[in-house]
Amino acid sequence: MKLNARRALLIGGSACIAAAAFTTVAQAQPKSQVQQTPKGWSYDIQDGKRVPKGNRVTNPDGSWREELKQGNCVTVKERSATGEYKESRQCNPINPT
């Protein structure tokens, strides 16, 4: 019976040491790096927050305009101060010359 108690105590103690070492290593990694998001996602992650990939210009009245480039296509997203949303997309063919 004492042998089983010693084994359990030894295994529990080594598990606690391993958990403490793991958290120390995780905290030692720099947090200022920009995480890479998968291709096709509409935002990047900077400082743990979502940041849109496009060039968004926000006006004081609350309206905004954003341009997203995907290959040879440009998507323009606009929202007016009254809440009207408009999205247009224009693709230019590539000249093989």
56 phi and psi angles, rounded to 5 deg: -100, 130
Q: Which residue has the tokens 């509409």?
A: 42
Q: How confident is the model at residue 52 (pLDDT cuts 50, 70, 90)?
A: low
pLDDT of residue 82 exceeding 90, the answer is yes
CA distances from 71 to 20, 37, 43, 64 (A): 47, 18, 17, 23
CB atoms within 10 A of CB 80: 14
Quote the pLDDT of residue 60.
93
Q: Encode pLDDT of 15-49 as tens digits.
A: 767 666 666 655 555 555 556 666 666 677 778 88
pTM of the model: 0.46
Spatial neighbors of 94 by CB under 8 A, at least 6 apart, are 72
